[in-house]
Structure 1
Amino acid sequence: MLEDFEAPQNWFTWSGDADPRPTGGMEAVADDPHGGKQCGSFFFDTSCDNGYVSTDLARIFPPQVTALRFWVRSAGSVTLTLRLLDSTGQTHQQSLPQEPAGWHRIELDLSRPTPHHFGGANDGQFHQPFAKLQFLRERGCAPKAGTIYLDDVEVVTATTTEELTEWYWNELQVRAETGVPGSLFYPTERATMDLSVGTPPNGVKVTVRGQLLDVLDQPAGEVPPVELSPDNGYRAALTLPSAPGYYRVQLSLSDGKRSKERETRFAVIPNNRRQGADPDSPFGVNTHFNQGWPASLGEVVRRAGIAWVRDGEASLDDRALPVALDNDLCYLPCFTAWTNRLTQRFKETLAKDPNAERTWDFSEAVAWHRQYAEKYGKYVDAYDLMNEPHGPWSEALGGGWQGGEWLRTFADYGKQVTDALHQADPGAKVLWEDIDQLLWYREFAGMDAAKTIDAISPHPYNLHPSRPYPEQQPTLEQMRDFRAFVAERKLSWEVWAGEVGFSSFRRDDKTPTQFYTALTEAEQAQLLVRMMVLQLAHGVKRIFWYDFMNDGWEPNNPEHNFGLVRNDHQPKPAIVAYANLIHRLRHAAWIKPYVIGGGAYAFAYAPKGDAAKPVLIAWVMAGTATEAIPVASGAEQAVVVDLYGRTQTVPVRAHRLTVGLTPSPTYIEGLTDRDLLPHLTQSSAKADPEAGAQ
């Protein structure tokens, strides 16, 4: 059995990058399944006539497959296209016309060559093992919209039971489903995990034992053993702890002769549930719903308490906006649709005449953006003018990373597009981007764009390994000059960090770039919290972590490992740390630096509605330090909370609270304004003295 949709696997949907795009995908639904409680619903809409919709299942296939069979039904006449990718990269394609009917089985003989094939060996022969199964709907086929139901997708093999058993254990696939978005439990929820395996070829029982590890790989308990057998359909529920924290579950499965180790993850986070959107929250994340991410990830974003999503590739057929609306998320579309079109025009014009007059007609792009705002403006909370224009624009027009010739043309474009967005959506904020520092805003103002811009949006990554920590990010020092510049010109500009993140990758000789610093997943979580606190303390109004989900599987590639969750949707420590930060700071009345010794960083903030009980958050950039915090209120103890919500009570002795600090930030709760306010500073270089109000 490849897929019975009872605990559905990850089906990847693709519909191209054209504008507009077709839509569709695969979902598990309880709609008259062939067997069990659910079946697959492959829904599609290709009415734009601009590409196809496909849904893919990439998994390990057994050896010597001779046939593929599955059950299908549809409400009308429709043609389903099936593709199989073999071990050479060759795609085998078959068209399967369907008539209105109830469930019926399709069986494909895979021992004979296929007439329709391309790529790889391109010989029509099936080269095993197979790597991917794909269903798709092509453009131009009637009907252009509808649903095809699938169930019980299985293969037939020619191997012996013993050979198949060996393959089964070598490639053992374990499904561990919590039924909770992102496997992020709230403390009041019963934490369980539905564990299942495919039926072993020899039908024997499988015993499962589990060991829990915390973020530092320290033992955190055991999972009570369970037995998988024909009696329970090789499916059983594991009981998990409900104490706050991030957990890895190391599973050991055995049939008495063979054994296999597998790992899964879950977390218990604060209940950040809210009613409605929260535009005042500073906490956001970058997503790629317009590039094909499954809409279900929106539920994980919301569950973590993240309030904003910034999504690239925004188009007139915006696929990120419905996800935002369904999950009460504020939406910041980022426009990239015109980058290549415009820069290609620049290159072609200047190739013909390098001395051509550099006055450009942007009317088509202006009309497109106006149309977008007219269509979506009532749902959109702000607009990002264009993602990182400096690369393609400077290549076409001259200049570079720090500005130059291209910037003047871009400012002209930006003014026209921003005016169009404001006209169609009055009152909306339009962000103009900067690079990893605050460098371009002065030139923008000098190009008569000052009154057009609503916010400057740097991408304050720590690109260079020589300055790996968020405390070393140049924008922190530049915020003072920025504020003075804005005040002098009586501008209302804000700073929004449109992209910023740290990657949990491993550097080796195959790492494709020298940028970024290699981090563990635990270090990524630490730097997320430190960066967020520092940026907020310096007056940044919104912060969008990049990225929500890992963009690949290569452990040595930075671009594949920026995510808060892995691309199998399992949590990384960073999303747990982010959820705890959001729980404490999303509506803090203020956040200001606290005087502390030993080279440590500390900030006090006032929780919403309880300014008399400010909270301290502290850390050191590297190494360790022990700090004695003066306590004047008479408090006898305080509660120290780590990034993941785990608490420890610490006594106050001789009016001092002694805490150990590490690069992992610590929240210190239970003190009062009498304890902390006298030690706040307005002159620390670690925060902008005019910033900090949220």
Structure 2
Amino acid sequence: MNIFNRLRAQPRWRIITAAGVVVALAAGGTAAALALASVPSEPAAVGPSSTPVVTPTPTPTPEPVALPSADATASFDGWSQDNEQDSSSSFTAEAGYPADGAIALRLGSTNPATNPTRRALSQVVAVSPSTTYSFTASVKGPPSSKAKPPIAVIMGADGQGRYDFASTTGAWSKQTWSYTTGAAETETPVSILTVGPVAGVTLDALSMTVEGANENLLANPSFEAFASDSPRITNDSLMLVSGADATLGVSWRVPGAAWTVTDATGAPVTSGTLDLQPGLAVVSLQDLNPGYYSIDIVNNDDGSDHLQTSLAILDPIANDASATDERFGVGVHLAPPHLNSGQVAGEIGFGTVRTDTVWRAIETTKGEYTFPPTEESMIQDYAAHGVGLLPLSVYVNKFYDNNKTPSTPEGLAAYAAFTSAVVAHYGSPAVEVYNEFNNPPMNKGACGPTAACYLPLLKATFERVKADHPETLIVGPSIARTDDAFLTELYQAGGLDYLDAVSWHPYDYGPGIGPEFLEASLQNQVAKIKEYNNGESKPIWITELGWSTAGYSEQEQADNLVRAQAIALANGVEKFFWYDLVNDETDITHHEGNFGLVRQVTEKVPTFAPKPSAVAQAVLIRQVAGKPYTTRDQQADTSVYSYAFGSGKDVTRVVWATTAKTLTYSADTDITVTDQFGATVTVKPVDGRITIEVDGHPRYLNGVVSDLQVVG
């Protein structure tokens, strides 16, 4: 029986078709790669002649040391990747700390152990019948690991040989086993695969020899020959955590390159060179302090050939701290530029994303709701990274009111039913009713953009959603700017009876106007809500506010973000949603397209590169997470802002001044001062006081201080 027919006859777990066989020249012979359909959870029972003899012999190693490494999506010469429908598992080329040569094989998977379908890296080796073959492999796990990694090597056309790797650590160890071929076996597939969720496990220096001989029968056994996209940054994130994980992977088929890292001011802070002859190299950033940085990598053979990106170095989240804060949210669009942005949203620390749920796209058949799968997967991506959802119920539907903003009884009822369906589908704790109803481009309804026209829409939606989902919060009116006339009219008409939280988008600034305008504006609105709500307050949510880097510098955007959010939280705002997460355009002069905290992915940088504002947002959340606003330090100079969050000894102050000032505080102990990008210094009291210089770039003071004075 030839190999094609023999492989077609294999059991269900190893399904082969002619189209699934890859033939490659390897080690003086022909290797055919098989496609695994699924894998048995336990080794198959077989006769004595084909039972593998498992003899794990981990080599004693010193305590593991965290060394810089990076990996890249790759294909490997001599090996086929089979069962590629298992998209949750990966085999990547790793540089930085191989056991042999310059490259190792990193395995990763989130595929549960109960799923029999598993991606495999495979080749077929010519063998002799009834012959014992010795296998060795070097393996290492994460630095702190001492566990048995869920990876295995399957041997034999029937999968009758299986080796499950023994416990390993963060240092390389060698493991050995053997396999005896059957009486009629002349070719055997060898497959590497994960058998459960795994991260940070690497293989290298795999060998298969006839017992007592030295020739390695495996093609590309140390995975040195690989192909990956080039040139590119290989990281899946550029929001790096300080220390061992602060590395940058570079895939580039040039002999070598030089690199320079600059800080937020453009000043060089470190540099080095890369040997890129293997095709993949690592830039270690382990010694960098927290901050916002840019890196420029230059081809040694062509000084005009650059690979560039920005990146963040952040302090790790404390073990007892939350990675996100519910007070902070961000706007996203369920569109290609935001695809796979759940990870960066979670890394920054956002508790919630706010996004459109588009009526016309979901109710495509009257009275029926079908949620588009692409949008579904994006929302699931945010949830997978611990980020909740605030759906925004918008705008029109062709079945009602001539495809305009609803105003008829049928249209209002249909909009309310749709909104309730959105809440039911996503299980969201809150929903926002329409978006910028007072903005004519968003509302071409027959009634118009007034509060009197919004109230029936709000009332119908409130009553339907509360009937179906009593605990869901109704948020609105979500209007453009702080439209005082609209809000007053809505309150006078009883609109507050149908709102659990009041929202608007205070884009009320202009040239030369900083975010400090929010203080008086918010205080006015807090008072107005109490005036029309029997002296009681209601939560205020700013569900949109941001500054575009097409009109402001990236540094100004970062400054305004921290200042606006600190002022908001200190003046009655319960939640603040920055607009938005990802730049919607690549043209840096496009005003609407550059509100993002991160840049769009590119071929060379296929992950989200942060702007300074992303780092400033992450640092703000880390500084005040879990700490409620408590007080503003009072003094006569109105250009100075000093807001305290937390109480007792666990107090963080957000401090800045609209013009440069010298401040002193009373302090009995050392105070930690952190800049807006996370770099820290310790200030010691002199005669019971500390002195700091402040300007428009916010700083954080951690520790107990009092008696703020402006001295210069």
Task: Compute the TM-score of the two structures, normalised by the length of structure 1.
Answer: 0.62
Deviation at 1:309, TM superposition (A): 0.9
Kindly indicate whether residue 450 of structure 2 is the aligned counterpart of residue 410 of structure 1.
Answer: no
Aligned to 2:90: 30
Alignment of 1:146-295 (within 5 A): 174-179=231-236, 182-197=237-252, 199=253, 206-222=255-271, 224-229=272-277, 232=278, 234-240=279-285, 241-255=287-301, 259-272=304-317, 281-288=326-333, 290-293=334-337, 295=339
Alignment of 1:367-406 (within 5 A): 367-377=417-427, 380-390=428-438, 391-392=440-441, 395-397=444-446, 404=450
- Aligned equivalents of 2:668 and 2:398: distance in 1? 64
Alignment of 1:541-620 (within 5 A): 541-568=574-601, 569-596=608-635, 598-607=637-646, 611-620=648-657
Q: Percent identity?
A: 21
Which of residues 342, 353, 362 is equivalent to 2:412?
362
Change (3 A) 1:361 1:559: closer
- Aligned equivalents of 1:280 and 1:619: distance in 2? 22
- Aligned equivalents of 1:371 and 1:438: distance in 2? 30
Deviation at 1:193, TM superposition (A): 1.1
Kindly indicate whether residue 384 of structure 2 is the aligned counterpart of residue 326 of structure 1.
Answer: yes
- Aligned equivalents of 1:274 and 1:28: distance in 2? 27
Letter in 2 for 1:611: G
Change (3 A) 1:27 1:558: farther
Change (3 A) 1:488 1:465: same
Which of residues 634, 640, 644 is equivalent to 2:668?
634
Aligned to 2:556: 523
- Aligned equivalents of 2:418 and 2:653: distance in 1? 48
Change (3 A) 1:532 1:472: closer
- Partner of 1:420, secondary structure, is helix
- Aligned equivalents of 2:263 and 2:479: distance in 1? 39
Aligned to 1:161: none
Aligned to 1:450: 496
Deviation at 1:394, TM superposition (A): 5.3
- CA deviation profile, 1:242-266 (whole Å, cap 9, x unmatched): 42111101112122x6642332122
- Aligned equivalents of 1:630 and 1:278: distance in 2? 31
Maintained 8 Å contact 2:482/2:504: yes
- Partner of 1:450, secondary structure, is helix
- Aligned equivalents of 2:553 and 2:399: distance in 1? 39
Alignment of 1:619-658 (within 5 A): 619-621=656-658, 623-627=659-663, 629-631=664-666, 633-635=667-669, 637-658=670-691
Taking only aligned residues, the RMSD between alpha carbons, in angstroms, comes to 3.8
- Aligned equivalents of 2:599 and 2:446: distance in 1? 38
Maintained 8 Å contact 1:600/1:618: no
Bigger mean CA deviation after superposition, 439-448 or 542-551: 439-448
- Aligned equivalents of 1:617 and 1:480: distance in 2? 22
- Aligned equivalents of 1:429 and 1:340: distance in 2? 28
Kindly indicate whether residue 702 of structure 2 is the aligned counterpart of residue 669 of structure 1.
Answer: yes
Change (3 A) 1:499 1:367: same
- Aligned equivalents of 2:442 and 2:411: distance in 1? 15
Letter in 2 for 1:175: R
- Partner of 2:420, secondary structure, is helix
Change (3 A) 1:276 1:216: closer
- Aligned equivalents of 1:329 and 1:428: distance in 2? 18
Deviation at 1:654, TM superposition (A): 3.5
Maintained 8 Å contact 1:460/1:497: yes
Aligned to 1:499: 544
Letter in 2 for 1:603: S
Maintained 8 Å contact 2:331/2:353: yes
- Partner of 1:617, secondary structure, is strand
Aligned to 1:296: 340
Maintained 8 Å contact 1:339/1:392: no
Residues matched between the structures, number: 482
- Partner of 1:587, secondary structure, is coil
Deviation at 1:579, TM superposition (A): 0.9
Aligned to 1:514: none
Letter in 2 for 1:248: S
Letter in 2 for 1:335: S
Kindly indicate whether residue 562 of structure 2 is the aligned counterpart of residue 482 of structure 1.
Answer: no
Deviation at 1:341, TM superposition (A): 6.7
Aligned to 2:225: none
Deviation at 1:578, TM superposition (A): 0.7
Aligned to 1:68: none
Deviation at 1:177, TM superposition (A): 2.2
- Partner of 1:451, secondary structure, is helix
Aligned to 1:164: none
Deviation at 1:321, TM superposition (A): 3.3
- Partner of 2:386, secondary structure, is coil
- Aligned equivalents of 2:410 and 2:511: distance in 1? 39
Letter in 2 for 1:414: L
- Aligned equivalents of 1:362 and 1:483: distance in 2? 26
Deviation at 1:322, TM superposition (A): 1.5
Deviation at 1:493, TM superposition (A): 2.5
Deviation at 1:630, TM superposition (A): 3.5
Letter in 1 for 2:625: R
- Aligned equivalents of 1:653 and 1:274: distance in 2? 34
Letter in 1 for 2:470: P
Letter in 2 for 1:571: P
Letter in 1 for 2:661: A
- Aligned equivalents of 1:207 and 1:345: distance in 2? 59
Deviation at 1:521, TM superposition (A): 1.1
Aligned to 2:204: none
Alignment of 1:678-689 (within 5 A): none
Change (3 A) 1:649 1:367: closer
- CA deviation profile, 1:370-397 (whole Å, cap 9, x unmatched): 32333333xx121011111222465444
Query: Hey, which of these two has a bigger chunk of strand by percent?
Result: 2
Change (3 A) 1:334 1:394: closer
Letter in 1 for 2:461: V
Change (3 A) 1:276 1:547: same
Aligned to 1:428: 472
- Report the structure number with the largest CA radius of gyration: 2
- Partner of 1:265, secondary structure, is strand
- Aligned equivalents of 1:549 and 1:299: distance in 2? 12
Letter in 2 for 1:30: S
Letter in 1 for 2:424: E
Change (3 A) 1:32 1:496: closer
- Aligned equivalents of 1:443 and 1:319: distance in 2? 40
Change (3 A) 1:284 1:361: closer
- Partner of 2:567, secondary structure, is helix
- Partner of 1:603, secondary structure, is strand
